[in-house]
Amino acid sequence: MDIRHSWNAFKTDFSEKYASNKRNYNIIGLSVVAVVGGILFYTLSYKPAQETKAAEKFASMYYYFKSDSTSIVLKGDAKRNIWSATRIADEFGSTVKGREAALCASIALMKDKKFEEALKYLGKTKANDKILSASIIAMKAVCKAELGDVSEAADLYEQAARIDENDFAAMYLKKAGIHYEMADDFKNALNCYEEIAQKYSTSSEGTDIEKYIGKMKAKLGQFNP
């Protein structure tokens, strides 16, 4: 069978199938067009507009965040058309400024000792920067500890330490160890302290880490003076 005959056979077969399934093909085609059109609208029109609105609302609120005006950050000011950080985060959560507003809200809520709500907004924020990413996880750890879940706090501090190897990691590892101790998880506490000794001995946390190691080994029956 030559190529021309094969092509003609394919066209005939396709034409017959299309004719018998014309309605279905048209529905599929229109569905694809609708989806692509929706994506284009979201990417080229809706999302940039949302970013602009979020940035405008964030700028007004951020002035009060820098001034440590927790009340306005959390409640806004209707008279001056200032939105709260929580409202910006809730309504513009998919935008960059919406996620930054969630972080501002979290910090203000923690200052207000509203740790459950702070955790909610920490879940709405994220960062590409490693130091800030670790800080966000550490803030979750603080909230968990304040709510009495020291074991989860320890896990989160250790998670924060794994983001990057730096002096901040040493600080988070020590906090993880302390919270593991509070949870009577002496083995994991020892692991954290020994990692500080191995990797971060010159950090401020490393200067007295041997006494923490000795304490945990004694708890585990491993200490041989």
User: How does pLDDT run across 98-119, given as a tens digit for each residue?
Assistant: 999 999 999 999 999 999 999 9
Q: What is the mean pLDDT of residues 12-24?
A: 55
Name the one residue in this structure whose structure tokens are 């029109």. 45
Name the one residue in this structure whose structure tokens are 């001034």. 67
Longest CA–CA span in the chain (Å) reads: 92
Name the one residue in this structure whose structure tokens are 């959390």. 74
Residue 22 has pLDDT above 90, yes or no: no
Structure confidence at residue 7 as a pLDDT band (50, 70, 90): very low
CA-to-CA dists, residue 47 to 25, 42, 50, 162, angstroms: 31, 5, 5, 33
- Coil/strand/helix, residue 61: helix
Q: What is the mean pLDDT of residues 188-198?
A: 97
Read off the pLDDT of residues 36-51 as tens digits, 9 standing for 90 and up. Answer: 544 444 454 456 777 8
Q: What is the mean pLDDT of residues 184-209?
A: 95
Domain ranges of the chain: 1-114, 127-225
Q: What is the mean pLDDT of residues 125-145?
A: 92
Where does 42-129 have alpha helices with state H?
Answer: 47-66, 70-75, 85-91, 96-111, 115-122
> How confident is the model at residue 185, as a pLDDT?
97
CA–CA dist 93, 81 (Å, integer): 19
Q: What is the mean pLDDT of residues 9-27?
A: 54
> How confident is the model at residue 81, as a pLDDT?
93
Look at residues 212, 208, 207 and name the one whose alpha carbon lies nearest to residue 193: 212
Q: What is the mean pLDDT of residues 169-185?
A: 96
CB 89 within 8 A of CB 95: no
> How confident is the model at residue 20, as a pLDDT?
55
Q: What is the mean pLDDT of residues 87-101?
A: 93
Q: What is the mean pLDDT of residues 74-103?
A: 93
Residue 139 has pLDDT above 80, yes or no: yes
pTM over 0.85: no
CA–CA dist 8, 14 (Å, integer): 10
Residue 150 has pLDDT above 60, yes or no: yes
Percent pLDDT > 90 in the chain is 68
Q: What are the counts of helices (DSSP H) followed by strands (DSSP E) for the chain? A: 12, 0
Greater model confidence, 149 or 13: 149
Q: What CATH number is given for 127-225 in this structure?
A: 1.25.40.10
> How confident is the model at residue 6, as a pLDDT?
56
Sign of the alpha-carbon torsion through 86, 90, 93, 96: negative
> How confident is the model at residue 37, as a pLDDT?
47
Structure confidence at residue 28 as a pLDDT band (50, 70, 90): low
> How confident is the model at residue 187, as a pLDDT?
96
Rounded-to-5 percentages of helix, strand, coil across the chain: 75, 0, 20
First to last CA, the chain: 90
Residue 169: alpha-carbon gap to chain centroid: 18
